[in-house]
């Protein structure tokens, strides 16, 4: 049965045949009305026509859902028909079938005319075909000349794509950040910052202010001096997962900023906020927690730096963990805890009642030789191995001195 509808007038879209095809695509949900509007479609006329046509097509829906997948299966590896090979990117490509786009559009053409790609309201399926053509043309990653022209096409690339890029222009970074705002592409933004900063790029205040509007998955890609310029509001959005890749120097900066960001928050809420940043806390910071009867769990204890923990006494660790102290027993096989245990009096460890062994017996001394290796690196996280520790009995030391 033929569908009896008068061909709508579609303004700049051209022929009635093209208008009818666009109307059908709108009915089937293949084209979003917002993208059709961007192409100067008479939206008011379309809205009423689409509703009427949709009602007329409602009885055919079961048949369409069967036929459409069958039609798509025949779109692979066809040759471009004579006269259909694209020479320019224009609105005519919108009316190409998907197999024609695959066969008739070249990646080099898309790269040189990316501005036109962004101006024409192509469907998501068509844009993904274009991306595939570009990926085939640039298998090692997009060149800088294309990256700086991507604009809204950036929303269709993946973090894996971006990690292949060589991003050197701050203006390009700012442009891509601008088009990404409110688009839910935080992972792509983090990858973009990683590539730019990893290549030696410097972010200015304007770029950091724009970054503040995204989920802070990019924090661990910033240098400590750049982190120092991050807005305090960013710390309120930060999750533990955003900090997983941060180094001790980065965590030290972030802990200080988080302390400033949350300084007006009191009690348990403050500790809940500051907890993800404890990897940057100093020994003095941890002692403040012990005096405030704030308890951390064993998982948070493991994220502290070695330098911050080794100076704590058994009594201070007991106060720091509070009711969570029993969690240390499960960590006795980890090197971070063995390092701390080896510096404590075994008598003090026994008072904990956890069966922790390996401490210094009565009458022994512990000589810390870590200072002479301080120049070999920065702070170490717990779990990176103990420093050189020498334990000797008092009697042996005395014999050595007398000889």
pLDDT tens digits, 265-290: 987 889 899 999 999 999 999 998 88
Q: 209 and 148, same structural domain?
A: yes
How far apart are the C-alpha atoms of 248 and 258, rounded to whole Å? 15
Q: 210 and 148, same structural domain?
A: yes
Q: 161 and 129, same structural domain?
A: no
| 337 — pLDDT class (breaks 50, 70, 90) | confident
pLDDT for res 362 = 78
What tokens appear for 200 in the block?
């030696």
Residue 13 counted as domain residue: no
Give the rounded percent of residues in the chain with a pLDDT score beyond 90.
59
Residue 69 counted as domain residue: no
How far apart are the C-alpha atoms of 294 and 288, rounded to whole Å? 9
Q: 206 and 155, same structural domain?
A: yes
Q: 202 and 153, same structural domain?
A: yes
Q: Does the pLDDT value for residue 398 go beyond 70?
A: no
Residue 4 counted as domain residue: no
pLDDT for res 365 = 59
Residue 198 counted as domain residue: yes
What pLDDT digit, counting tens, does each position of 9-63 carry? 333 444 445 545 544 544 455 544 444 444 343 333 334 433 443 444 333 333 3
Say whether pTM exceeds 0.75.
no
Q: Last residue of some domain: 214, 237, 264? A: 214
Q: Looking at residue 304, what DSSP letter applies?
A: S
Q: 306 and 338, same structural domain?
A: yes
Residue 12 counted as domain residue: no
| 369 — pLDDT class (breaks 50, 70, 90) | low
Give yes or no for a contact between 342 and 360, defined as CB atoms under 8 angstroms apart: yes
Residue 181 counted as domain residue: yes
Q: 151 and 133, same structural domain?
A: no
Cα dist from 393 to 302, 367, 370, whole Å:
31, 11, 20
Residue 191 counted as domain residue: yes
Residue 171 counted as domain residue: yes
Three-point CA angle 231, 237, 239, nearest 5°: 125
Q: 108 and 163, same structural domain?
A: no
Give yes or no for a contact between 237 and 256, defined as CB atoms under 8 angstroms apart: no
Which long-range contacts does 330-337 make (Cβ < 8 Å, 24+ apart)? Answer: 330/298, 331/298, 331/302, 332/356, 334/302, 334/382, 334/383, 335/383, 335/384, 335/385, 335/386, 336/302, 336/306, 336/309, 336/381, 336/382, 336/383, 336/384, 337/382
How many domains does one find in the chain?
Answer: 3
Q: 152 and 119, same structural domain?
A: no
pLDDT (mean) for 339-365: 88
How many other β-carbons are positioned within 10 Å of the β-carbon of residue 153? Answer: 21
What tokens appear for 331 in the block?
């960590």
The burial of 22, by beta-carbon neighbours within 10 Å (0-12 exposed, 13-18 middle, 19 or more buried), is given as buried
Q: 133 and 100, same structural domain?
A: yes
Q: Last residue of some domain: 137, 171, 204? A: 137
Q: Which CATH number is 109's domain given? A: 1.20.970.40
**Greatest mean pLDDT among 57-66, 203-212, 371-380:** 203-212
Q: Last residue of some domain: 122, 137, 152? A: 137
Q: 146 and 117, same structural domain?
A: no
Q: 200 and 160, same structural domain?
A: yes
Range of the domain at 333: 299-363
């Amino acid at each position: 049965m033929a569908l009896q509808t008068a061909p709508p007038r579609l303004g700049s879209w051209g022929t009635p045949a093209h208008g009818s095809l666009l109307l059908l695509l709108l009915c089937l949900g293949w084209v979003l009305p917002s993208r059709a509007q961007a192409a100067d479609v008479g939206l008011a006329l379309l809205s009423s026509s689409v509703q009427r046509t949709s009602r007329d097509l409602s009885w055919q829906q079961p048949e369409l859902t069967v036929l459409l997948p069958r039609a798509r299966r025949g779109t692979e590896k066809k040759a471009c028909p004579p006269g259909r090979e694209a020479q320019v990117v224009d609105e005519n490509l919108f009316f190409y079938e998907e197999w024609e786009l695959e066969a008739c559009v070249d990646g080099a053409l898309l790269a040189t005319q990316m501005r036109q790609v962004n101006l024409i309201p192509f469907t998501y399926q068509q844009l993904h075909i274009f991306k595939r053509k570009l990926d085939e043309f640039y298998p090692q990653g997009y060149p800088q000349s294309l990256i700086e022209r991507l604009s809204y096409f950036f929303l269709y690339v993946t973090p894996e794509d971006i990690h292949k890029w060589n991003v050197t222009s701050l203006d390009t970074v700012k442009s891509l950040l601008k088009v990404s705002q409110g688009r839910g592409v935080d992972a792509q933004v983090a990858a973009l910052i990683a590539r730019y900063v990893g290549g030696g790029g410097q972010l200015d205040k304007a770029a950091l202010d724009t970054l503040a509007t995204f989920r802070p998955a990019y924090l661990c890609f910033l240098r400590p001096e750049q982190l120092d310029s991050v807005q305090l509001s960013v710390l309120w959005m930060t999750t533990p997962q955003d900090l997983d890749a941060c180094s001790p120097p980065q965590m030290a900066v972030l802990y200080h900023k988080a302390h400033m960001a949350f300084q007006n928050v009191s009690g348990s809420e403050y500790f809940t906020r500051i907890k993800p940043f404890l990897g940057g806390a100093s020994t003095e910071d941890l002692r403040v927690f012990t005096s405030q009867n704030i308890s951390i769990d064993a998982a948070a204890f493991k994220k502290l730096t070695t330098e911050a923990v080794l100076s704590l006494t058994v009594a201070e660790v007991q106060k720091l963990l509070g009711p969570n102290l029993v969690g240390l027993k499960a960590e006795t096989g980890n090197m971070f805890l063995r390092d701390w245990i080896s510096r404590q009096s075994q008598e003090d460890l026994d008072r904990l009642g956890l069966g922790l062994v390996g401490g210094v017996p009565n009458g022994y001394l512990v000589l810390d030789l870590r200072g002479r290796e301080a120049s070999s690196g920065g702070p170490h996280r717990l779990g990176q191995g103990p420093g050189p520790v020498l334990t000797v009995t008092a009697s042996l030391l005395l014999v050595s001195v007398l000889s």
